[in-house]
Amino acid sequence: MIETIYRHHPELRGESARVIAHGWANQVWIVGERLVFRFPRTAEGKQELRREQLLLPDLARSLPVQVPQFLYQSPLDEEITYVGYQQIPGTPLTPAHFQKLDRAKKLKLSVTLASFLTTLHTHRPQISLPTVGKESWEAFYQEIEQKAFSRLNRAERDWTKRSFESFLTDSRNFCYEPRLLHGDFSADHLLHQAGELSGVIDFGDVRLGDPAYDFVGLFAAYGAEFTKEVVKRYGLPQDELFWQRVTGFYVQRLPFHAILSGLDTGNEERVQIGLQQLREGVDRR
């Protein structure tokens, strides 16, 4: 991967380079301790990156914190796809970092996050994006039945059926106006400096859909009390089941992403992580 960068950008050849992540979607390199290069790992990842390239330049102008601005891009005829951008200052706002913040910093953070999500959700993209709605969740449920049910015990299968069928059969869950979503608004992608939000990264899952979806990562990482503070300052109206979707179905379906990804890639460790998360959820209920 690094030789691809050096070949197309020889001015960087003298710079140091190190891998920092082998995630589900991307391999990530830091070059010269100042540039981030992302290499999508799948054909779907390449499509997602292309959407980011088209969306972010316009979107970035209105957001209250930094997002990636691509300074380097692979040539169209290059088999290996990549982008490079100036590293945004800060480190991921992990739950451990969040717990160390005092009340004043948490309050300020809730204001910034609410401003970010309000601005994002009111942005009208000028490009075609996938829409996630009832049909998408029905297809996701079918995929779980086909691929994952053989790995679940009876109690886990019954719990999964109740979760999806309760969500899918209640029309009130689909009364929202579809909005532009980050799609993976989680602790890994929120950067901070001394507790203040400094940037948001990885827009690979950007889509149109339920605005409540972008709050589930905050709930999972930082808890209900803080997430309610963000929702209270959020500038768009919420339908009657908005909070219920954040704390209910959208949290409940999280383990299945790990399970299905692991099954699709032959990564049994990832499957087991998802199964353990699922069993913990079932036990809590």
Residues 131-176: tens digit of each pLDDT: 999 999 999 999 999 999 999 999 999 999 999 999 999 999 999 9
Q: What is the 3-state secondary structure (H, E, C) of the chain?
A: CHHHHHHHCHHHCCCCEEEEEECCCEEEEEECCCEEEEEECCHHHHHHHHHHHHHHHHHHCCCCCECCCEEEECCCCCCCCCEEEECCCCEECCHHHHHCCCHHHHHHHHHHHHHHHHHHHHCCCCCCCCECCHHHHHHHHHHHHHHCHHHCCHHHHHHHHHHHHHHHCCHHHHCCCCEEECCCCCHHHEEEECCEEEEECCCCCCEEECHHHHHHHHHHHHCHHHHHHHHHHCCCCCCCCHHHHHHCHHHHCHHHHHHHHHHHHCCHHHHHHHHHHHHHHHHHC
Greater confidence (42 vs 135) lies with 135
pLDDT at 22: 60
Q: Which CATH architecture has domain 91-284?
A: Alpha-Beta Complex (3.90)
How does 41-58 read in b/e, with b if 16+ C-beta sit within 10 Å?
beeebbebbebbebbbee
Residue carrying structure tokens 């399970």: 259
Nearest CA-CA partner of 244 in 254, 252, 236: 252
| Six-digit token string for 6 | 């050096």
Query: What CA–CA distance (Å, rounded) separates 232 from 225?
Result: 11
Residues in CB range of 96: below 8 A, 6 or more apart: none
Q: Which top CATH class is 2-86?
A: alpha beta
The rounded distance, in Å, linking the Cα atoms of 38 and 29 is 7
| One-letter amino acid for residue 149 of the chain | F
Residue 78 pLDDT class (50, 70, 90 cuts): confident
Q: pLDDT digits over 230-267, tens only? A: 999 999 999 999 999 999 999 999 999 999 989 998 98
Domain ranges of the chain: 2-86, 91-284
Please tell me the predicted confidence (pLDDT) of residue 24: 67
Question: What are the structure tokens assigned to 206, written together?
Answer: 């950007």
Asked whether the beta carbons of 109 and 197 are under 8 A apart, the reply is yes
Per-residue model confidence (pLDDT) at position 186: 95
Nearest residue to 189 (alpha-carbon basis) of 81, 52, 88? 88
What value does the mean pLDDT take over residues 121-133?
Answer: 95
Tokens 């204001």 found at: 111
Q: Contact 48/204 with Cβ under 8 angstroms?
A: yes
